[in-house]
């Protein structure tokens, strides 16, 4: 506690000092702007709080069609770098989903300016996403963690995306960041419409356009090259439509080779191939009824994971979503109905030369009669399907009430097979498992006064889970393996209360208290010693427990936001108590010589806490120059570490001390600061961003889970863009000083996983 109090004081002083200094600069800029009237109009086109303009290619029927040269002047260009707070740029329809304490918004336009791969990569690189950490498992596979919480606690909505297994895919890696219009991060149990969880990633795909003047068709071609790993990326998009229908068809292709770390000659096996096809089609059935259909097909082959046991031979995802919208249904003021179906299949093995170079003892540790030529294969299949219907009512007291119901179905299976082992005992699977969630929810936004707004919500769920009893290669029934019945039921509920208070025309105070429950994932319930990378070592086999309890989270948030037009900033603090937090019991420590294998069982701990804060600011110093900065920290603690797994060791992990320690997989204090230089004209013909990411060392570790400390580091990036007419050129340098480093949550398997060294990139795009 002394360490926590000391850090809290240091953080408060640092945040207050930084916040006060940038406030002083901002007030001086505002004062100067007020004194020089002609300059005010010149600055306005680049004000940081200006609403995001509707992209020209997506203007609604009845709007003005853009001239051909203006087609490129849309949010894709004007928001290439974004700002530290982009919530105000959301449309009115989307902004209602961001009415929670410390909610963040990220626009897909930054995928072009920052040359990101999947949505997880976009969320980590965007200046407007705070409290986000990223486990980079491969250039195409990034796991997003929000305020110290991971998959299961963090839900990806839109179509309720979920990983088939916890290491070879994630909830967001199947979606190319160029296919996203915007993403809303809800960083606490402050929404009920997404399902039972504690944090939410709400992704909105690009939509089909409309044109009031009759049929139009347009296209967009782009190509990008990155020097480190010889990574190529190209995308071709065609869109068009008329006043009552529209379409957007896009094809993307990515390839990459092994990248070099900051240590000369140290390459990691990270090659990949990826192709995707995306289709958005929409029809207006009447003046108030419309249907939007999204189709996604992803094919990835030969994807190498340097820190995991398996590489992917192939992964295929098919995603379908249909949304029906009625703005005048008669029984309500607004009605939306969504139906989705997502399925992912994959196959992998341990046979690539790069795998055995990176993990030299793998052939010895996997079973073989000789003891030195072992190998393994894996396959998986999972789907998420569901339905959500929501009716919205505008009440007489100016409040908005939303009532909804949803059904979420998940089906999941994976096999981890060592073919040289006896046929009746060579499979360590997640048996075919099922989850059905039936939920009901209500949310209300009520303006108590003109300056004070309250948002409340409540949700109830009934979840049923089960798994098959017999799996080839497993000697016993699955219930015998676990000594437990497999079918489980989880009655859950959640509620929240959030407020916004306008202190004056520039300052807003926010607060929130939320309580939510979430069920164990199918992996946490039923996995049977599969090699799934989870703890820091990476090479970990995991054991589930069908008798796990649901997690229960109570969270408090307090925040303060400021917006002076040319300056905006904020500071937010939170504390969460999580009862029955699902963590790990290390029942098979890693071999000290080979570091493999490491066995861990999922276990409930009585109480865990997450405490943290975020602060950010951005100031338009002159017409061309802006400065920005952001700082975030989270501290996770297991307060009842000695409670053992039901089938594991007693005490947990084989040791009775300490009775309290840090939670595993928590990223350290980090900040990002920089300057943004842009053309001040409305067309923003060029821009340059110079930034530094400063990460502290992490010495708060879960030592009983064999987690080790990580030193701090600083990396520097330069990003630029220039455009002429409908042509856009992007270029930049990442990790400018060729720093040799790794994140605290990166895997330590074999030779170790380190981030890429210096990387130059360039891209060229044209719209027509």
**pLDDT 10s digits, 129-167:** 999 999 989 999 999 999 999 888 888 886 788 899 889
pLDDT in tens, 623-655: 999 999 999 999 999 999 887 667 666 788 888
736 within some domain? no
Number of H helices and E strands in the chain, helices first, is 10, 33
220 within some domain? yes
Of the CA atoms within 13 Å of residue 752, those in its CB half-sphere come to 14
Helix, strand or coil, per DSSP, at residue 120? helix
Q: Which of 276, 318, 279 is nearest to 301 (CA)?
A: 276
Token pair belonging to 2: 């002394």
Q: What share of the chain is helix, strand, coil (3-state, %, to 5)?
A: 15, 50, 40
Contact 175, 169 (CB under 8 A): no
321 within some domain? yes
Backbone phi, then psi, for 308, in 5-degree steps?
Answer: -120, 165
pLDDT in tens, 47-78: 333 333 323 322 333 333 333 333 333 444 45
pLDDT in tens, 353-405: 999 999 988 998 899 999 889 999 999 999 999 999 999 999 988 999 999 99
Share of the chain above pLDDT 70, in %: 88
CB count in 10 Å sphere of residue 640:
15
pLDDT: which is higher, 243 or 645: 243
Burial letters for 222-255: b for 16+ Cβ neighbours within 10 Å, e otherwise? bebebebbebebebebebbbbeebbbbbbebebb
Helix, strand or coil, per DSSP, at residue 505? coil
The predicted model gives 207-216 an average pLDDT of: 94
> Is 114's pLDDT higher than 60?
yes
pLDDT in tens, 543-602: 999 999 999 999 999 999 999 989 999 999 999 999 999 999 988 887 665 556 788 999
Dihedral Cα 202, 207, 210, 216, nearest 10 deg = 160
Give dist(CA 33, CA 537) in Å, integer: 54
The mean pLDDT of the chain is 88
pLDDT in tens, 275-316: 999 999 999 999 999 999 999 999 999 999 999 999 999 999
Q: How far is CA 644 from CA 346, 528, 587, 655, 659, in A?
A: 34, 18, 10, 10, 12
Q: Which residues contact 264 (CB under 8 A, 6 or more apart)?
A: none
pLDDT in tens, 411-445: 999 999 999 999 999 999 999 999 999 999 999 99
Give dist(CA 696, CA 150) in Å, integer: 21
Give dist(CA 378, CA 305) in Å, integer: 14
Looking at residue 60, its pLDDT comes to 32
pLDDT: which is higher, 681 or 339: 339
Torsional sign, CA 136, 142, 147, 151: negative
Contact 497, 514 (CB under 8 A): yes
The predicted model gives 698-725 an average pLDDT of: 96
Contact 103, 570 (CB under 8 A): no
Give dist(CA 301, CA 522) in Å, integer: 26
Give dist(CA 660, CA 643) in Å, integer: 11
Looking at residue 156, its pLDDT comes to 87
138 within some domain? yes
Looking at residue 648, its pLDDT comes to 62
Helix, strand or coil, per DSSP, at residue 370? coil
Token pair belonging to 494: 């959640």
Q: Which of 580, 584, 698 is nearest to 635 (CA)?
A: 698
Residue 32's domain spans which residues? 2-731+741-767
Give dist(CA 386, CA 461) in Å, integer: 14
pLDDT-derived band at 3, boundaries 50, 70, 90: very low
Q: Could you tell me the CATH number of the domain that includes residue 78?
A: 2.40.170.20
pLDDT-derived band at 203, boundaries 50, 70, 90: very high
630 within some domain? yes
pLDDT in tens, 650-706: 788 888 889 899 999 999 999 999 999 999 888 889 999 999 999 999 999 999 999
605 within some domain? yes
Looking at residue 592, its pLDDT comes to 61
164 within some domain? yes
HEC string of 125-159 equals: HCCCCCCEEEEEEECCEEEEEECCECECCEEEECC
Residue owning tokens 């997989």: 665
pTM of the model as a whole: 0.89
Looking at residue 539, its pLDDT comes to 84
For the chain, how many structural domains are there in total? 1
36 within some domain? yes
Give dist(CA 560, CA 615) in Å, integer: 9
């Amino acid at each position: 506690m002394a360490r926590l109090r000391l850090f809290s004081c240091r953080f408060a002083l640092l945040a207050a000092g930084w916040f006060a200094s940038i406030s002083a600069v901002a007030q001086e800029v505002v004062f100067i702007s007020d004194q020089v009237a002609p300059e005010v109009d010149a600055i306005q086109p680049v004000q940081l709080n200006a609403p995001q303009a509707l992209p020209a290619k997506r203007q609604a029927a009845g709007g003005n069609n853009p001239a051909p040269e203006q087609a490129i002047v849309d949010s894709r260009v004007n928001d290439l770098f974004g700002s530290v707070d982009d919530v105000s740029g959301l449309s009115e329809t989307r902004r209602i989903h961001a009415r929670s304490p410390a909610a963040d918004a990220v626009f897909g336009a930054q995928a072009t300016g920052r040359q990101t791969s999947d949505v997880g990569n976009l969320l980590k690189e965007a200046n407007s996403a705070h409290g986000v950490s990223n486990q980079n498992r491969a250039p195409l596979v990034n796991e997003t963690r929000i305020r110290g919480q991971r998959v299961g606690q963090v839900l990806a909505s839109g179509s309720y995306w979920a990983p088939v297994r916890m290491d070879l895919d994630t909830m967001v890696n199947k979606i190319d960041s160029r296919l996203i219009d915007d993403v809303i991060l809800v960083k606490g149990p402050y929404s009920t419409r997404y399902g039972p969880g504690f944090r939410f990633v709400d992704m909105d795909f690009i939509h089909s356009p409309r044109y009031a003047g009759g049929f139009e068709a347009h296209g967009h071609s782009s190509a990008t090259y990155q020097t480190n790993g010889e990574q190529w990326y190209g995308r071709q998009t065609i869109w068009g439509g008329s006043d009552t229908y529209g379409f957007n068809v896009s094809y993307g292709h990515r390839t990459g080779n092994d990248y070099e770390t900051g240590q000369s000659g140290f390459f990691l096996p990270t090659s990949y191939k990826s192709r995707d096809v995306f289709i958005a089609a929409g029809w207006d059935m009447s003046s108030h009824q419309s249907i939007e259909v999204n189709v996604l097909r992803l094919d990835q082959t030969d994807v190498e994971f340097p820190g995991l046991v398996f590489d992917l031979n192939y992964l295929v995802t098919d995603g379908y979503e249909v949304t029906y919208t009625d703005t005048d249904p008669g029984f309500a003021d607004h009605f939306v109905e969504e139906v989705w179906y997502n399925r992912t299949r994959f196959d992998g093995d341990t046979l690539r030369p790069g795998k055995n170079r990176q993990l030299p003892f793998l052939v010895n540790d996997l079973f073989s009669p000789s003891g030195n030529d072992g190998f393994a294969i894996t396959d998986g299949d999972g789907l998420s399907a569901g339905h959500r219907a929501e009716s919205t009512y505008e009440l007489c007291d100016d409040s908005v009430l939303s009532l909804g119901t949803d059904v979420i179905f998940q089906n999941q299976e994976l096999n981890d097979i060592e073919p040289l082992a006896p046929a009746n005992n060579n499979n360590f699977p997640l048996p075919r498992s099922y989850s059905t969630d039936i939920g009901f929810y209500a949310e209300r936004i009520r303006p108590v006064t003109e300056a004070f707004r309250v948002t409340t919500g409540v949700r109830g769920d009934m979840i049923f889970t089960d798994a098959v009893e017999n799996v080839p290669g497993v000697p016993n029934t699955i219930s015998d393996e676990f000594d437990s019945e497999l079918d489980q039921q989880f009655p859950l509920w959640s509620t929240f209360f959030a407020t916004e208070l306008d202190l004056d025309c520039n300052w807003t105070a926010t607060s929130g208290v939320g309580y939510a429950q979430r069920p164990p994932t199918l992996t946490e319930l039923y996995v049977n010693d599969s090699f799934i990378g989870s703890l820091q070592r990476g090479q970990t086999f995991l054991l589930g427990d069908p008798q796990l309890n649901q997690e229960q989270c109570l969270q408090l948030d307090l925040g303060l936001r400021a917006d002076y037009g040319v300056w905006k900033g904020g500071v937010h603090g939170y504390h969460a108590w999580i009862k029955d937090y699902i963590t790990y019991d290390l029942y098979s420590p890693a071999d000290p010589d080979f570091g493999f294998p490491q066995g861990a069982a999922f276990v409930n701990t009585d109480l865990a806490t997450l405490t943290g804060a975020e602060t950010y600011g951005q100031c338009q110093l002159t017409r061309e120059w802006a400065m920005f900065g952001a700082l975030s920290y989270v501290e996770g603690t297991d307060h009842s570490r000695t409670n053992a797994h039901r089938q594991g060791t007693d005490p947990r992990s084989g040791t009775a001390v300490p009775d309290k320690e840090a939670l595993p997989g928590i990223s350290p204090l980090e900040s990002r600061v920089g300057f943004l230089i842009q053309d001040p004209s409305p067309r923003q013909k060029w821009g340059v961003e110079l930034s530094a990411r400063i990460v502290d060392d992490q010495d708060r570790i879960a030592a009983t889970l064999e987690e080790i400390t990580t030193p701090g580091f600083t990396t520097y990036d330069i990003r630029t863009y220039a455009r002429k007419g409908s042509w856009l050129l992007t270029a930049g340098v990442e990790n400018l000083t060729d720093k040799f480093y790794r994140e605290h949550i990166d895997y330590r398997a074999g030779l170790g996983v380190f981030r890429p060294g210096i990387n130059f990139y360039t891209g060229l795009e044209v719209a027509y």
